[in-house]
Structure 1
Amino acid sequence: MFGIIRIIILFVNVINLGQGKNLEDLWPAHCNEYKVLDEQNRSITSPYPDSFYCDSSSGEQTGAWQGPGYYRFMHPAGTTLNEGTVGVEVAGEVCFNAMVSLSCNYRANITMTDCGGYYIYYLPDAPNCDLRYCAAP
């Protein structure tokens, strides 16, 4: 009986916190306003592409990249850049490496937002035009 009462109180507290709004309305605006990166060749499981791709405004942009902004990774590209879970909004760093090297050749600061079932990333231009963001399943 005590467990049922606790659940009801928590549910009431969530309603009061949101002032009657849907939980989705409480997320940051970019959880609903983002660009999509879903090309299969962005998946870390895809073979190394024969073509040149560019996630930088300094060169000829290719694929779905539209310059710095909020992005959501979707299938078949994959759904996350990170491994594990993050808080509601966390600043982090992404590492770019050449296929022949396992070291971190270039870095970029990003922001990750947990939008309740999917992540939105603020992605800057890649440091060089021959680099791009890839996703994990």
Structure 2
Amino acid sequence: MLWRCTEKNISTTASPQCSSSPVTYFQYTTITPPQCLNYTLNTDATRNIGYTSSINNCDNTVPFSNTTSVWIRFQAPAGTLLASSPVPPNYCGTVVTGWYAGQYPSPVFTTATSIVCFYYATNTCSSCASISVTSCLNFYVYLLPQPPSCNYRYCTL
């Protein structure tokens, strides 16, 4: 499968081109995708954008420390969605905040492929990673890789 971040096609195994307004690719299906039935639930309240008590959390632990990406469903008190706009550093329990820069899929059983940006210092997309988001019946699941370093974290709302 090929996807595009800006002007040129690159494979999903290549490093994505970081942009705070990337292209999003959509894949539609009429049957329930397996990731809507088999995912890891994350309820960690410290990843919510309202959490500012500590900035020492990292997403370099299970389930993100796997060698392959893992489908994650966020649920309260974590929040239910990856943040979809830049989250300033030192929120959601970390220094380098991750937010989804692509478009969310709206039809049920649609998967979007785009990027998550990591906000560091004054750069809202200093680094990025390719991710997928699937719209299930009444929730989203995210195919998330391990972030590039400690103090990088996916932020939710």
Instruction: Give the shorter-chain TM-score range.
Output: 0.5 to 0.7
CA contact (8 A) 2:131 2:145 kept: yes
1:108 corresponds in structure 2 to 129
CA contact (8 A) 2:83 2:155 kept: no
Q: How far did 1:95 drift?
A: 0.8
Structure of larger gyration radius: 1
Instruction: Verify: 1:27 aligned to 2:32, yes or no.
Output: yes
Task: Select which of 112, 120, 136 maps to 1:90.
Answer: 112
Q: How far did 1:79 drift?
A: 0.5
Identity of aligned residues (%): 30
CA contact (8 A) 2:81 2:156 kept: yes
SS of residue paired to 1:126: coil
1:125 corresponds in structure 2 to 146
1:81 corresponds in structure 2 to 82
Q: How far did 1:36 drift?
A: 1.4
Instruction: Verify: 1:53 aligned to 2:53, yes or no.
Output: no
Structure 1 gap segments, 5+ residues each: 1-24
SS of residue paired to 2:141: strand
For residues 66 and 120 of structure 1, what CA distance do their matches in structure 2 show? Answer: 18
Structure with a larger share of its residues in strand:
2
CA contact (8 A) 2:134 2:142 kept: yes
CA contact (8 A) 1:37 1:65 kept: no
Size of the aligned set, in residue pairs, is 105
For residues 131 and 95 of structure 1, what CA distance do their matches in structure 2 show? Answer: 10
Structure 2 gap segments, 5+ residues each: 1-29, 85-102
CA contact (8 A) 2:64 2:146 kept: no
Q: How far did 1:26 drift?
A: 2.5
**RMSD of aligned alpha carbons:** 2.3
For residues 65 and 144 of structure 2, what CA distance do their matches in structure 1 show? Answer: 10
SS of residue paired to 1:41: helix
Q: How far did 1:101 drift?
A: 2.8
